[in-house]
Homo-oligomer: A and B are copies of this chain.
Amino acid sequence: MLPRLTTGFRPRNRVIVDCAYCPTARRCWDEAPLPGTDLLVQPELRLERGAILTLPSGPPRIVFMVISGCLALSETEVGGTRHTAGFRLPGELVGPESWARADRPYEVRAATASVVCHLTLPRIGRGRGNSAFLERLLVKSAAQIDRAMRPWPGLPAIERVAAFVEDFVERAQVRGSSIGSVRLPMTRADIGSYLGLSEETVVRALARLKRGRRLEVHGRMVGLVQCSRPCAQLPMR
């Protein structure tokens, strides 16, 4: 299964729609469905699993909104090794994290079949009411900063994996609804690459969390257990 390469991004069909008329806009812009003036996007780019978006660094400043699926951001270290830098779920932005990188931009790969919208940034200093759009982007970016500051490196492996799964389930669930289980779209190796653990350690941590009844794990399906807080020490096997 060769990944279909979408090298770079070049807007193709110039259809522009207003988010105010999109039924899923609540997911993207939380709060209200939008008055309906300045949130303009090129809608619904479909990415099959493995498709790659190579975002340019610096201007023009590209932003995508994830509509469905999951994107994995990765970067190539100086030694040539791959590092998974993060995941993006519906309602989250991709693009700003690459703006400041002079070289080696992030590679964005669809971890599962996904749909994204390409946001058209307003021309600065020209338009009138586009500050509402910019403010929403700013709030979204602020949430990304917080998310990227997660204290993974300081936690022991099992806590890192538990926190990752809990975080992922929370982000994957539609606001409000708390469905039991969620399918992880990425491999154990991806999780390990993201958390700074080896694939095997992720597997063992998941097994221990399952044995300790802190998580439900069936292959890639994971679910939270309700009263999972007090469990501290888990048996090694």
Binding site for B on A (CB under 8 A): 61, 73, 75, 77, 83, 85-86, 96-101, 122, 124-125, 127-132, 134-135, 137-139, 141-149, 151-155, 160, 193, 195-197
Contact of A134 (CB < 8 Å), options: B96, B129, B135, B152: B135
Would you call B83 and A151 a contact (CB within 8 A)? Answer: yes
* Docked pose: A143 CA to B101 CA in angstroms: 8
A149 to chain B, nearest CB (A): 5
| 18 A–B contacts, CB within 8 A, in A order | A61-B139, A73-B149, A83-B151, A96-B142, A97-B142, A98-B146, A99-B139, A100-B139, A128-B128, A131-B134, A134-B134, A134-B135, A141-B142, A145-B148, A153-B153, A153-B196, A154-B193, A154-B196
Residue in B75, B83, B134, B196 whose beta carbon sits within 8 Å of that of A138 in the complex: B134
Partner of A96, one of B83, B100, B141: B141
Counting every copy of the chain, the complex holds: 2
Is B135 a contact partner of A100 (Cβ separation < 8 A)? no
A129 x B138 contact (CB < 8 A): no
Quick check: A129 and B125 within 8 Å, CB to CB?
Answer: yes
A33 to chain B, nearest CB (A): 16
Q: Assess the A152–B151 pair: CB atoms within 8 A.
A: no
Q: Which residues of B contact A97 (CB under 8 A)?
A: 142, 145-146, 149
- Give Cα distance in the complex from A122 to B128, angstroms: 14
Residues of B within 8 A of A154 (CB): 83, 193, 196
The 8 Å CB contact of A131, one of B131, B142, B145, B146, is B131
Cross-chain contact A75 with B151 (CB below 8 angstroms): yes
Residues of B within 8 A of A153 (CB): 152-153, 160, 195-197
Taken together as a complex, chains A and B put the C-alpha atoms of A77 and B155 apart, in Å, by: 10
Distance A129 CA – B126 CA, assembled complex (angstroms): 8
Partner of A130, one of B61, B96, B100, B131: B131
